[in-house]
Amino acid sequence: MTEQVLSLQVNGVEHRILTADHRTLLEVLREDMAMVGTKHGCDLGECGACTVLLDGRPVLACLVLAVQVAGRTITTIEGMAEDGIPHPLQTAFSEKGAAQCGYCTPAMLLTARALLDEVQAPGPDDIRQALAGNLCRCTGYNKIIEAVEAAAGAQD
Amino acid sequence: MGTGHNVLGRALPRVDSMEQVTGATRFADDLTLPGTLVGRQLLSTHPHALIVGIDTSRAEALDGVRAVITGSDLPITYGILPVSQDENALAVDRVRYVGDPVAAVAADNAEIAERALSLIEVDYEPLAEVVDLEQGLSEDRPLIHGEGSGRNVHRSVALEFGDVDEGFGVADHIREDVFHYSGNTHAALETHCVLASYDASGKLTLWSSTQVPHYLHRSLERVLELPAGRIRVVATPNGGGFGGKTEPFSHEFVAAKLSILTGRPVRINLSREEVFYAHRGRHPVLMWVRTGFASDGRITAMHFRSFLDGGAYSSYGIVSLYYTGALQTTTYQIPNYRFEGVRVFTNKPACGPKRGHGTPQPRFAVECQLDRAAEDLDMDPVGIRLVNAVEPDSSTVNHLRITSCGLRDCIAKVAGASDFTARHGRLPHGQGLGLAVGAYMSGAGLPIYWNDMPQSEVQVKVDRGGGVTVYSMATDVGQGSTTMLATVVAEMLGLQPSDLAMVTADTDLTPVDLGSYSSRVTFMAGNAAVEAAGKVRDRVVRAVAEKLEANPSDLVLADGRVSVAGDPAAGPDWSEAVRMAIATEGPLIESGSYRAPELAGPYKGSGVGISPAYSYSACVAQVRCDADTGMVVVERVWLAHDVGRAINSLLVEGQIEGGVYMGLGEALLEEQAFRGGLHRGPSLLDYKIPTILEMPPVESIIVESVDPEGPFGAKEVGQGPLLPVVPAVANAVHDALGVYIDEVPITPDRVVAALRDLARGGSGRFGPESVPDFDFGTPVRVEPPEGFVAP
Amino acid sequence: MTMRLPNFEFVAPASVDEAARLLSDPGRSSLIVGGGTDLFPKMKRRQAVPTTLVSLSGVDEMRGVRVDAAGNCVIGASTLLADLATSEVVPSAVATAAASIASPQIRNTATVGGNLCLDTRCNYIDMPETWREASGHCLKDGGETCWVAPQGDRCWAINSSDLAPVAIALGGSVRLMSTRGERLVPVGDLYGDDGIDCHTMAADEILVELLIPSDGGRATYRKLRRRGSIDFPLLGVAAAGRFDPDGICLEVRIVIGAVTPAPVRATEAEEFLIGQRLTEEVIVQAADIASGPVRPQDNTDTGSRYRKWMIPVFVGRALRDLVADDG
Ligand SMILES: Cc1cc2nc3c(=O)[nH]c(=O)nc-3n(C[C@H](O)[C@H](O)[C@H](O)COP(=O)(O)OP(=O)(O)OC[C@H]3O[C@@H](n4cnc5c(N)ncnc54)[C@H](O)[C@@H]3O)c2cc1C
Ligand code: FES
Ligand code: FES
């Protein structure tokens, strides 16, 4: 087994982690760093529940190796609120009922955040396209779309 | 008391939503204890085989393996229904489907656990497999439960209410149709997970993503032979349930046993593949329905036959079977009704309850047939439904008591909002509208095991600072039961839901609630909460009235104060009022409970389908079909749901939208499909749940019929809205293309096959031609309830 | 997180040469990894167990899209699909195909090289280990029989790349490098018509870039799938053509993907179209000709019959795109 000491930049903090090459970012976040806000639903890239932001872009933590992302910027749900103030998306998801069981929610929020960071006032179709890799089994998505629209409105 | 509501009906966020959106919610797999071992199960690779031998010695010898167990370590059987205790945590002597767990390991880490599994050698002697209805009904296949060969009939039923032959005799028009509803599965995003810890004092604790901590508690007691008092079950927030976590599962017993053996905590998290095998999802049901109509559209008789492919174990199967015949009468006045059904065992993952349990399949059949009858009789879909719609405060021919009923209102609302009558049958080719209705129970009238204790108990404790804690075993699976309870109690006490502390779903800490199934929680736990909070309120009011020398009935609890009506500023704030109550009568801890009224009819099987109240829904779906590819796009859905009273309108809408979503998946995409005994694709890539791109806008219309027995008049909304969605889509596809797809899901290949048939001059129908010839025996004749008036 | 990757060593050389050297080392069983979105799921299912993964992400010159002096599009193999999908330099059919692949998250790590070198897929092989053992390992999985066509002695796994058909239709080629040097190969020659022997390149050859000539003509890509996202194609039809001012077809390529082990050129239909104006009648005829020889197997969703029916529909739609007014 090949192991390396990696420097991971997670939510603005540098973490030094000794880990084997074959471990995914998802495994390292959840098991080595106790950051369990990132979820998993398939381990195979099929559900989107493990989405985190890599240099601001949504990627699947179950299909990315920790060694591949050393030195790059990683954002997880634990880093979405700043100084304890929830991101407008978090507030909107809460107020609009965009989370039911809440299992898809961290990934949804991060994917939506990457969209809002790029597009100021996305329309419903932009939102649909951006969230097309995030499965939700509870909500039927419409309240999620409403929440993203509301957060976009609240941002400016 | 004032008449306005404090918080009832408002669109407030869930009380736990800030935890959810910050990633702080702890699901079962997020919990860790020091020294936790990884548990894994070895699965059968045969659909049907005898286990000749299992050699675990090489696995045991592997460094880092702490325990290895097989069927003989957990020999006691279990099953969710007391009459069908036919499961073992790990297979004993025989495997019955690909995926049946046969052995398990606990190891220091995932890698070692995986290697250990590969070192276990199982010697199988394959048996002939039974993989479909036909084989299940054949005489010469080996019995899946039992020795020798014969028909693998799990249970059959034949009931007749009224006089069906007479009903057909007076009919002006009779239709016979055959439908098939494929099996599908819950596919909750969270895979099942359990963390078990057996501590030094001999106490076992399980944190599990289960919808039924109470039933799991009882099953653990039985299988592990531990006293109930030494077992604690904590149901963690479920990352979706939908009925998929509504009975005890192998991994729960296995993790417990491995923890007992090793003295260390053990976690088992099922892989997505294992979840598809654990299943307990929607039964595939083949249906034959014969219905007689008078020339004005009124139903004179219905004869319904259902054939269920149940998979390898009983699960809720007997109940599922009865449900395929129980609720037809809750929407339409059927004066004479015969129901015959049979469930067979097959070598596939066991089917069980999924949202709507046993009723979406017959609903699909009945609603599609009704549209065709309307065509035959030159009526429109709205008209034929209104002619037959049940009335409030009536009873059905099969002895179901109907109280509040907003069915007509629901139909009128969706038809109006979608401009149905003007547009149905008149849209350009490829576009269509479909209507359907449904009804569902607000809680099963009877508990799963016979007992005469309450079905739900709630405790409310108030501390000296005014802090209110609500204790209930109700389990939040995403439906918002915790928020519902908080809202009910807050409403009673004039507080905000977010002010309360909620302690839920823990067998050590909370009084019993039977679980999150059969849409029972709002009605039952809600009523228990009303009673408990009512007692607290009465005590506080008494104490304050005494102090203010006011008439108790003039006091109002609102905005965190107790005051005299008309003078909100006078009177103490809540915490002061609480201290008065404690000072006068002692600790402010009250409990409430709910027990459904006795509703069962005078026949065997009448326990299935009874409920203290029924919710009603109506749905219109608008589709656009590509006649070349057979692809169906649902453009818009209108769904009206009679929820009795919306305790929280945001959550009610959420359940409606979620139900529509799941119904659309079943209508168009999802199928738990098999090739022989092998699942065709146990993954979220092959099993296609709709993405955001498949989801149309939904217009949710809340209808409030205010049920006389529901908490504040509330009924269920978790399951009912799914029911009419599937037939509404099917009817819309017919409106769009002229084809009849009598097989769900309505996949593009089926649509194109039907279109090609239509083009060749055929009927344009895709679906099963006939049902097996099965002797159900002479039906048990049941007289309609007293006072039953045939329409 | 039950499905885990097997052990391996991960190396990320900084140059193509170094990568080529590593790959040629007979002491290792190495595989190239781009984004890993095809490879990692397969490794988690133990369909592949390499001891070394050679990542190309450290090779800067392999990333990005440029236009060379001759006006050709040069697409580095490590270019992310997300970037290709939004590129304004590449022909729009290429961007459309890229945007249709998998999901937004996957496109943020998946690469062009990985897509062109995608392993063939089949619903007897892309399954978990338990399942494969239960079904009896198939030919591609080290067994004796192809369960899709048990009578035969070959594997029918499908080439499901969405980029390959467009690249072929546009006359694209790829630059391959190894310690033995480099070569330029037409994309169409990259694939072998066997599900196991599905790539003609050697195991140690690195796909460095994809070249799309500037004179490929008007092009389109039509993808059939059940859901609007995540799903692989059930059928993918690419077409590219050039027409004279009167609308007479001078040159056309029609490529049918996701039905057979290699994307197939509909050469008979192409020949039929040359010299003709693409009227509705001609298009329908050409679509039928194109579909004639193609035999989809029952090894993905919706079955073979339906996919066979859809071939003329999709070829027809692709051809209509070529002559549509709006471009
Ligand atoms: C849920 C899901 C859905 C998907 N849907 C689609 C889809 O719709 N359409 C589609 O086309 N694909 C789809 N894919 C497959 C895959 O994501 C894409 O094809 C992707 O482009 C592969 O690129 P990669 O860089 O991730 O490849 P990798 O996994 O890194 O590599 C794939 C293969 O190519 C080889 N390879 C990679 N780069 C090179 C190179 N430069 N030179 C030589 N060999 C190389 C690798 O050794 C490996 O065998 C899907 C995958 C998943 C998990
Ligand atoms: S866990 Fe499903 S995509 Fe990563
Ligand atoms: S809220 Fe449950 S999966 Fe999205």
Q: For residue range B288-308, what is the model confidence (pLDDT) as tens digits?
A: 999 999 999 999 999 999 999
Low-confidence ranges of chain C (pLDDT < 50): 327
**Whether residues B715 and B620 fall in one domain:** yes
B269 touches C: beta carbon within 8 Å: yes
Torsion, Cα A101 A104 A107 A110, to 10 degrees, reads -50
- B498 is a domain residue: yes
Give the atom of ligand 1 at the shortest distance from the alpha carbon of A46.
Answer: 1
- B151 is a domain residue: no
Q: How far is the CA of C117 from the centre of ligand 1 (A)?
A: 7
> What secondary structure does DSSP assign to B576-594, as a single string?
HHHHHHHHHHS-EEEEEEE
Specify whether the CB–CB gap between B39 and B254 falls below 8 A.
Answer: yes
- Cis peptide, bond prior to residue B745, ω within 30 of zero: yes
Q: Which amino acid is at B580?
A: M
Ligand 2 binding pocket, CB closer than 6 Å:
A 40-43, 45-50, 60, 62
| Rounded-to-integer distance, Cα B641 and Cα B31, Å | 38
**Whether residues B231 and B92 fall in one domain:** yes
Which chain B residues are Cβ-neighbours of C2 within 8 angstroms? 40, 110, 191, 269-271, 274
- B659 is a domain residue: yes
Tokens describing residue B566: 């008309």
Nearest to B748 among C4, C123, C306 (CB): C306
Specify whether the CB–CB gap between A104 and A134 falls below 8 A.
Answer: yes
Q: Which amino acid is at C175?
A: R
Q: What digits encode the pLDDT tens for the residues B394-430?
A: 999 999 999 999 999 999 999 999 999 999 999 999 9
Mutational test site, ligand 3, from A137, A141, A142, A145, max ligand atoms within 8 Å of CB? A137
| Rounded-to-integer distance, Cα B236 and Cα B30, Å | 10
**Whether residues B271 and B295 fall in one domain:** no
**Whether residues B571 and B632 fall in one domain:** no
**Whether residues B348 and B328 fall in one domain:** yes
Mean pLDDT in residue range A95-120 = 97
- C217-247 burial code (b ≥16 CB/10 A, e <16): bbbbbbbbbbbbbbbbbbbbbbbbbebeeee
Q: Name the residue range of residue B540's domain.
A: 17-24+453-594
pLDDT at B791 exceeding the cut of 90: no
Which chain C residues are Cβ-neighbours of A45 within 8 angstroms? 37, 40-41, 102-103, 105-106
**Whether residues B552 and B457 fall in one domain:** yes
In terms of Cα–Cα distance, which of C10, C187, C38 is closest to C110? C38
For the Cβ of A103 lying below 6 angstroms from any atom of ligand 3, the answer is yes
Nearest to A60 among C3, C6, C106 (CB): C106
| Nearest ligand for residue A100 CA | 3
Which pLDDT belongs to residue B788?
Answer: 86
ipTM of the complex: 0.98
Q: In chain B, which residue's Cα lies nearest the Cα of A134?
A: B691
Predicted TM-score of the model (pTM): 0.98
State which fold the C1-60 domain adopts. 3.30.43
A151 touches C: beta carbon within 8 Å: no
- B205 is a domain residue: yes
pLDDT at A78 exceeding the cut of 90: yes
| Rounded-to-integer distance, Cα C142 and Cα C46, Å | 12
- B155 is a domain residue: no
Q: How far is CA B98 from CA B120, B223, B349, C107, in A?
A: 17, 23, 8, 34
Q: How many domains does chain B have?
A: 3
The rounded percent of chain B whose pLDDT value lies above 70 is: 99
| Nearest ligand for residue B189 CA | 3
Q: Taking the domains of chain C in order of start, what are their residue ranges?
A: 1-60, 63-118+158-326
C5/A24 Cβ within 8 A:
yes
Distance of alpha carbon B663 from the chain centroid:
13
pLDDT at B786 exceeding the cut of 60: yes
Q: How far is the CA of B282 from the centre of ligand 1 (A)?
A: 35
Which pLDDT belongs to residue C326?
Answer: 57
pLDDT at B499 exceeding the cut of 60: yes
Mean pLDDT in residue range B510-520 = 95
Q: What digits encode the pLDDT tens for the residues B731-770?
A: 999 999 999 999 999 999 999 999 999 999 999 999 999 9
- B408 is a domain residue: yes
| Rounded-to-integer distance, Cα B636 and Cα A144, Å | 17
Which pLDDT belongs to residue C327?
Answer: 43
| Nearest ligand for residue A50 CA | 2
Q: What is the 3-state secondary structure (H, E, C) of chain C?
A: CCCCCCCCEEECCCCHHHHHHHHHCCCCCEEEECCCCCHHHHHHCCCCCCCEEEECCCCHHHCCEEECCCCCEEEECCCEHHHHHCCCCCCHHHHHHHHCCCCHHHHCCCEHHHHHCCCCECCCCCCCHHHHHHHCCEHHHCCCECCCCCCCCCCCCECCCCHHHHHHHCCCEEEEEECCEEEEEEHHHHECCCCCCCECCCCCCEEEEEEECCCCCEEEEEEECCCCCCCCCCEEEEEEEEECCCCEEEEEEEEEECCCCCCEECHHHHHHHCCCECCHHHHHHHHHHHHCCCCCCCCCCCHHHHHHHHHHHHHHHHHHHHHCCCC
Q: Indicate which of B182, B749, B752 best probes the interface with C, i.e. most C CBs within 10 Å of its own CB.
A: B749
pLDDT class of B568 with cuts at 50, 70, 90: confident
| Length of chain B, in residues | 791
A1/C10 Cβ within 8 A:
no
**Whether residues B655 and B532 fall in one domain:** no
Which pLDDT belongs to residue B789?
Answer: 77
pLDDT class of B3 with cuts at 50, 70, 90: very low
In terms of Cα–Cα distance, which of B474, B428, B463 is closest to B210? B474
CATH superfamily of C63-118+158-326: CO dehydrogenase flavoprotein, C-terminal domain (3.30.390.50)
Q: What digits encode the pLDDT tens for the residues B692-713?
A: 999 999 999 999 999 999 999 9
State the DSSP H helix or E strand holding residue B54, giving kind and residue range, or none if neither: strand B49-55
Tokens describing residue B711: 């908490």
The CATH number of residue B364's host domain is 3.30.365.10
Q: In chain C, which residue's Cα lies nearest the Cα of B670?
A: C226
B669 touches C: beta carbon within 8 Å: yes
Which pLDDT belongs to residue A113?
Answer: 98
Which bin fits B148, alpha (ψ -120 to 50), beta or left (φ > 0)? left
Which pLDDT belongs to residue A127?
Answer: 98
Mean pLDDT in residue range B479-501 = 97
Specify whether the CB–CB gap between B519 and B714 falls below 8 A.
Answer: no
Domains and CATH numbers, chain A: 3-79 (3.10.20.30), 88-155 (1.10.150.120)
Q: How far is C110 from chain A (nearest CA, A)?
A: 10
Which pLDDT belongs to residue B1?
Answer: 38
| Rounded-to-integer distance, Cα B511 and Cα B459, Å | 7
SS3 A116: helix
Residues near C188 by Cβ (< 8 Å), separated by ≥ 6? Answer: C168, C255, C263, C265
Residues near B698 by Cβ (< 8 Å), separated by ≥ 6? Answer: A140, A142, B636, B637, B638, B639, B656, B657, B660
B681 touches C: beta carbon within 8 Å: yes
A72, burial (CB in 10 Å: exposed 0-12, middle 13-18, buried 19+): exposed
Which pLDDT belongs to residue A93?
Answer: 98
User: Which of residues B594, B624, B653 is at a domain's end?
Assistant: B594
| Rounded-to-integer distance, Cα C160 and Cα B700, Å | 40
C neighbours by CB contacts (3+ pairs under 8 Å): A, B
B neighbours by CB contacts (3+ pairs under 8 Å): A, C
A138 touches C: beta carbon within 8 Å: no
Residue B143 DSSP label: P
Specify whether the CB–CB gap between B458 and B511 falls below 8 A.
Answer: yes
**Whether residues B206 and B87 fall in one domain:** yes
**Whether residues B663 and B743 fall in one domain:** yes
Mean pLDDT in residue range B213-227 = 98
Tokens describing residue B617: 């829904």
